[in-house]
Amino acid sequence: MSDVLALPIFKQEESSLPTDNENKILPFQYVLCAATSPAVKLHDETLTYLNQGQSYEIRMLDNRKLGELPEINGKLVKSIFRVVFHDRRLQYTEHQQLEGWRWNRPGDRILDIDIPMSVGIIDPRANPTQLNTVEFLWDPAKRTSVFIQVHCISTEFTMRKHGGEKGVPFRVQIDTFKENENGEYTEHLHSASCQIKVFKPKGADRKQKTDREKMEKRTPHEKEKYQPSYETTILTECSPWPEITYVNNSPSPGFNSSHSSFSLGEGNGSPNHQPEPPPPVADNLLPTTTPQEAQQWLHRNRFSTFSRLFTNFSGADLLKLTRDDVIQICGPADGIRLFNSLKGRMVRPRLTIYVCQESLQLREQQQQHQQQQPKQENGDSSGAFFVYHAIFLEELTTVELTEKIAQLFSISPCQINQIYKQGPTGIHVLISDEMIQNFQEEACFVLDTMKAETNDSYHIILK
């Protein structure tokens, strides 16, 4: 909804429609299973009332004549559904209107597909950055019905909210595409739309009843100026959505012949996007990062879905975002993940201990001074300098501890026979998983090594 809708739906543009369009047989027909309002004049466009959040069926009908569009026989087509503004005034400010709605309704969408009720749709997709758009593949030769839910109401976008105001009309627009030579759905086949108003639950039924009662009170002569109420709404042909480049620029992955399943937040950015090499261990975003480098950082860290949204953001711009800002823009799950990545937050290990390798010289110094003064907490009673290394444990097992100590000594884990902890009166207690799980956080140990009796391996003693 970022561009002004270039559709011939306004009264002043009706004359620009070709006159032969009325008799033209269209390749597809879309039928919204909701009654039209009886309070619409004869030459005006139909108006349909919907309830917020209620599932409404739209039947996707193959209307081709024999031999028409043979290239799609046995193949799938892609349809994109949008809920957009009908009024031109709101079209000019669509971006601001949607951002305001997103701010007031965090985590909600304007348009959703009721997948369990829908029939014949393949790979339905809802991009988290395009709240008003959904898309899917379908086979024209098979029965296809999609159930949609509209979650915004018409009065949410009125300028003055004083109660009793008229809600703004929306449009439901469907654009259908076929595959090109590269397997991308970019070749436009057909577009159609209808005018709707959305009310709070059961409000549409009350409005329909009110309109019907008003029409019953009119004279027969006055009734002739109005359209009858039809049980269903036929979407009428219109110009395709003007932002045609969305097919290549869309943050969601492009459809291809393999019809792989869609994973939200793991998108590739576009069909032409080449996979990036794996990121280095430390891939922190810097304030000096340019917008182009910021885009690469988003792709490397699996935020391709939001790359288009942050097109002009430099590293400094992204780092200025608060946690609430990021959640509002990206939703709770991806927002928290992006915020943690921006701040360079690493996952805390379950246990951290500090170890120091005891040398022969330090051991002799310790023995000389043990009788002179009590041993201090850091094990350094002689003023000697101890260098400790941090060991981070996740699994809290003896196997993991063995591997980490072997890595510290630059030896193979097989060369460590047993690990002991020095207990009371100097006894050696065999380390077990349960003992490691009861280690204090940031406990300090001095490591002593002792040659094993049978082979070339060593015993490790934690003091």
| 323 shares a domain with 220 | no
Do residues 179 and 296 share a domain? no
Task: Indicate if 389 and 334 belong to the same structural domain.
Answer: no
Q: Examine residue 404 and state whether it is found in any structural domain, yes or no.
A: yes
Q: What pLDDT was estimated at residue 419?
A: 87
Claim to verify: residue 33 and residue 156 sit in the same structural domain:
yes
CA distances from 461 to 164, 192, 315, 411 (A): 80, 77, 48, 16
* Helix, strand or coil, per DSSP, at residue 96: helix
Same-domain pairing of 165 and 210:
yes
Domain boundary at 310, 343, 376, which?
343
69 and 170 assigned to the same domain: yes
Whether residue 356 sits in one domain with residue 337: no
State whether 79 and 155 are in the same domain.
Answer: yes
Q: Which of 31, 83, 26 is nearest to 233 (CA)?
A: 31
pLDDT of 96: 73
Together in a domain, 41 and 84: yes
Say yes or no: 315 and 422 in one domain.
Answer: no
When divided into structural domains, the chain yields a total of 3
Give pLDDT, residue 8. Answer: 40
| CATH number for the domain that contains residue 452 | 3.10.20
User: Do both 63 and 198 map to the same domain?
Assistant: yes
Edge to edge, what strands does the sheet with 56-62 contain? 111-113, 144-150, 56-62, 28-32, 233-234
pTM metric for this prediction: 0.50
3-state secondary structure of 43: coil
Q: What is the pLDDT of residue 121?
A: 93
- Tokens 């109420």 belong to which residue? 229
Provide the token pair at 185.
């759905």
In a domain, 245, yes or no: no
Give the structural domain span for 304: 291-343
| Domain assignment of residue 120, yes or no | yes
251 within domain boundaries: no
For residue 324, count other CB atoms closer than 10 A to its CB: 11
Contact 168, 158 (CB under 8 A): yes
Residues 208 and 329 in one domain: no
Q: What is the pLDDT along the chain (463 residues), one digit of tens a residue?
A: 444 444 444 333 333 344 444 456 688 999 999 999 999 998 889 999 999 999 999 999 998 888 788 888 889 999 999 998 887 767 777 777 777 788 888 888 999 999 999 999 999 998 888 889 999 999 999 999 999 999 999 888 876 555 555 788 999 999 999 988 888 898 899 999 999 999 999 999 999 999 999 999 989 888 889 999 999 999 999 888 775 333 333 333 333 333 333 333 333 333 333 333 333 445 678 888 888 888 888 888 888 778 778 878 888 888 888 888 888 888 888 888 888 888 776 667 788 888 887 654 455 555 665 555 554 444 444 455 678 888 888 888 888 888 888 888 778 888 888 888 888 888 888 889 888 888 888 888 888 888 777 677 788 888 8
- The verdict on residue 432 lying in a domain is yes
Distances (CA, A) of 97 to 2, 20, 130, 361: 10, 37, 13, 74
Is residue 280 in a domain? no
CA–CA–CA angle 344, 437, 282 (5° rounding): 15
For residue 130, the domain's CATH number is 2.60.40
